[in-house]
Amino acid sequence: MSPIKIFLSAIALYVGTVNAKADNILDSLSLKARVGYSIGGTAPVSLPATIRGINEYRLQPNFCLGVDAKNTLDPNWSMLIGLRFESKGMHVDARVKNYYEKIVKGNESLAGRFTGDVTTQVRLWMMTIPLQAVWSPTPKIDVRCGPYISMLTSKSFTGYVHNGYLRVGDPTGAKVELGNDEEARGNYDFTEHLRPLQWGLNFGVDWTLYRRFGIFADISWGLTGVHKKDFKTIEQTLYPIFGTLGATYSL
């Protein structure tokens, strides 16, 4: 069974459990709104030898807005399902050596091993449904963990290579110099190869500070790469990995 089918089956089981206890659902159900800011990016699990360092990382307007419904099972355990609207973006410039790239320079398409600087800009807008188990060691603290599934509503994965050279085909191929201005650099656009659906795991903590107001911290780790399986231009699988800090309000 595929991971998405497992996730949907889990939602169906959760809904079935709620329906089975419909007589007291209003007593055990609580709603919480949240807004947050995320920092992270799309990255391989381990940094390959072809990536030599990070020259620049720019913060992006990565905001999250959502609402959660929590069904209390007993004083310490609950189940949570939510709906969140998220923006996950990245702007990074990295120094690479013998890094495989497919680029467009002028009207010419080139592929080969690039040594120099690579700037990547990613912008993903999505709707996310988290399904989490919640452990409450105290009435003011919720520790959450579970899977999520995200559907992209808008997407962009673009960039350019500059300040270096490309060896066409392989490391011994013809050398093409690439500069820093728009006419001298090589551009790429891999937007069409992005997955429309992503899934992964989310870990988080909610802390109620005063009455209905609280704060939260989340880490979301994608278990599917951002690109489709048949996309091989980037040799390493890139996973969406983000941390989020924000505020909550109990409705």
* Kind of pairing between the strands at 108-138 and 77-105: antiparallel
Asked if the model's pLDDT at residue 213 lies above 90, the reply is yes
DSSP one-letter string for 93-152: EEEEEEEEEEEEETTEEEEEEEEEEEEEEEEEEEEEEEEEEEEEEETTEEEEEEEEEEEE
192: alpha, beta or left, given left = phi > 0 and alpha = psi -120 to 50?
Answer: alpha
Considering only residues 44 and 11, tell me which one the structure prediction assigns the higher pLDDT.
44
* Kind of pairing between the strands at 63-72 and 108-138: unpaired
User: Is residue 150 very low, low, confident or very high in pLDDT (cuts 50, 70, 90)?
Assistant: very high
pLDDT of residue 7: 59
Q: Is the pTM of this model over 0.75?
A: yes
Q: What is the mean pLDDT of the chain?
A: 90
The per-residue pLDDT for range 89-142, each reduced to its tens digit, is: 999 999 999 999 999 988 889 999 999 999 999 999 999 999 999 999 999 999
CA-based nearest residue to 79, from 155, 8, 39, 130: 130
pLDDT of residue 208: 94
The per-residue pLDDT for range 171-190, each reduced to its tens digit, is: 888 999 999 888 889 999 99
User: Is residue 207 very low, low, confident or very high in pLDDT (cuts 50, 70, 90)?
Assistant: very high
The per-residue pLDDT for range 225-247, each reduced to its tens digit, is: 999 988 888 888 999 999 999 99
Contacts of 203 (CB under 8 A, 6+ apart): 144, 145, 218, 219, 221
| Burial class of residue 38, CB neighbours in 10 A (0-12, 13-18, 19+) | buried
CA-based nearest residue to 166, from 237, 101, 122: 101
Q: Bridge partners of 58?
A: 91
What are the tokens at 203? 């870990």
% pLDDT > 90, the chain: 74
% pLDDT > 70, the chain: 89
pLDDT of residue 149: 97
What are the tokens at 150? 């995200």
Asked if the model's pLDDT at residue 8 lies above 60, the reply is no
Distance CA 162, CA 58 (A): 18
Range 159-173 average pLDDT: 91
* Residue 86: how many other CB atoms lie within 10 Å: 22
The per-residue pLDDT for range 53-79, each reduced to its tens digit, is: 999 999 999 999 999 999 998 889 999
CA-based nearest residue to 156, from 109, 119, 204, 124: 124
The CATH architecture annotation of domain 3-250 reads: Beta Barrel (2.40)
